Structure 1
């Protein structure tokens, strides 16, 4: 992986965007976990814990949307490499004021899966909002962040 004159890996010497060449890197097992929240009204929390929302099973739809988001990350984030995802799991939990989302993504490849985990959380959150917007047009996706990454040159990192 070569860096530009300014030390940035995703721009060349002229400042133009480029996809980093990872062909010289070794493949290794990598994993990333990301999380986020969709803040919702008490009415939505009650619906999700009870009879459900008018559009259907919001959590099931969001789970599948998140997995699809992880798989489609290079189509959405221009400089991400298309990599072989070997596993993607999205968990959703209804809390008192939000739907909590955690995504874990795995690969054995030359680059990490942080962006795939983040995209899984973001897309799952957007799907939750789509499913509940009739009950709560003010639902908010927030706090999307990487919690953990493992593998590759940098090894293990976990949010303090």
Structure 2
């Protein structure tokens, strides 16, 4: 029976002790879908939207990467991890922007939270940079798509 890993025997919040675990290759990919709508998508030129603040998707990639590297500052019980890689891609599908964040490290704990934070902050940056065009933007979903390393691998098909 699975149990919550961030509670100690007394039921209080606690960081998981990973000291005895062996370091292994860990990867995770998270996705966030941002519904921009046709009013914003009409400004798409090539593979980006240019605003007075700068190129939206390029800026979101930088913001998401910075956030993934600082996940332990944002999520209280996350371990500090040195990421070996963080790749964020943003594609469009109709009136949606699809943000994928792939992270990897060699470590004792997974990088799912880093991938989720990277994708989320990239999506929030898209919202911030596009809100002058329209506030009818919806950050629809953020989900873990896959992870490798640790106790078990995971892959979501959709």
Please state whether the residue corresponding to 2:59 is helix, strand or coil: helix
Query: TM-score, normalization: structure 1?
Result: 0.91
Please state whether the residue corresponding to 1:35 is helix, strand or coil: strand
Is 1:8 the counterpart of 2:21? The answer is: no
Distance 2:51 2:137 in 1: 14
For 2:19, the equivalent position in structure 1 comes to 23
Please state whether the residue corresponding to 1:104 is helix, strand or coil: strand
- Structure-to-structure mapping, 1:30-45, within 5 angstroms: 30-45=26-41
Runs of 4+ in 1 over 2 A off after TM superposition: 48-55
Query: TM-score, normalization: structure 2?
Result: 0.92
Aligned length: 154
Please state whether the residue corresponding to 1:85 is helix, strand or coil: coil
Higher mean alpha-carbon deviation, 36-45 vs 113-122, is at: 36-45
The structural deviation recorded for 1:7 is: 3.5
Distance 2:134 2:3 in 1: 45
Distance 1:37 1:7 in 2: 30
Is 1:126 the counterpart of 2:130? The answer is: no
Cα deviations by residue, 1:43-82 (Å, 9 ceiling, x for unpaired)? 2111123672332200010000110110010100111100
Cα deviations by residue, 1:64-103 (Å, 9 ceiling, x for unpaired)? 0110110010100111100111000000012211111001
Q: Which runs of 5+ in 1 are unaligned?
A: 1-5
- Contact 1:48 1:94 survives alignment (8 Å): no
Distance 1:136 1:94 in 2: 17
Please state whether the residue corresponding to 2:43 is helix, strand or coil: helix
Distance 2:146 2:11 in 1: 30
- Contact 1:85 1:105 survives alignment (8 Å): yes
